[in-house]
């Protein structure tokens, strides 16, 4: 009698675990706050304004090109506020 109660308890526990496992598989987990923040912060630059340089990974740079240039400040584009350095005599 004691053994049958233990077996019944084990069977019920397994059934409960299986039911919970199928619920987890059926619905994807909700995105964390960090994942949401990352996707919300991503801004797209219009293609005409995007830097034309390629990164080491082979992707196009995501920065905005400097005014009057095809490249961002990182890839050789000059900012419109930059002034030429004074010449040394």
Model confidence over 52-71: pLDDT tens digits? 999 899 999 999 999 889 99
Cα–Cα distance for residue pair 50/44, rounded to 1 Å:
9
**Cβ-contact 60, 71 below 8 angstroms:** no
Q: What percent of the chain has a predicted confidence (pLDDT) above 90?
A: 24
> Is 36 a residue whose pLDDT tops 80?
no
Q: Where does 1-89 have alpha helices with state H?
A: 2-26, 33-41
Residue 67, token pair as written in the block: 């005014």
Cα–Cα distance for residue pair 14/69, rounded to 1 Å:
65
DSSP symbol at 66:
P
pTM higher than 0.75:
no
Strand partners, 64: 50
Instruction: Give the model's confidence band at 15: pLDDT under 50 very low, under 70 low, under 90 confident, else very high.
Output: confident
């Amino acid at each position: 009698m004691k053994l049958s109660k233990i077996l019944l308890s084990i069977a019920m526990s397994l059934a409960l675990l299986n039911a919970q496992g199928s619920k987890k598989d059926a619905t994807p987990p909700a995105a964390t706050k960090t994942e949401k923040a990352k996707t919300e912060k991503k801004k797209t630059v219009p293609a005409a304004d995007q830097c034309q340089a390629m990164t080491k990974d082979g992707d196009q740079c995501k920065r905005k090109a400097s005014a009057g240039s095809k490249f961002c400040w990182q890839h050789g584009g000059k900012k419109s506020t930059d002034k030429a350095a004074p010449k040394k005599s």
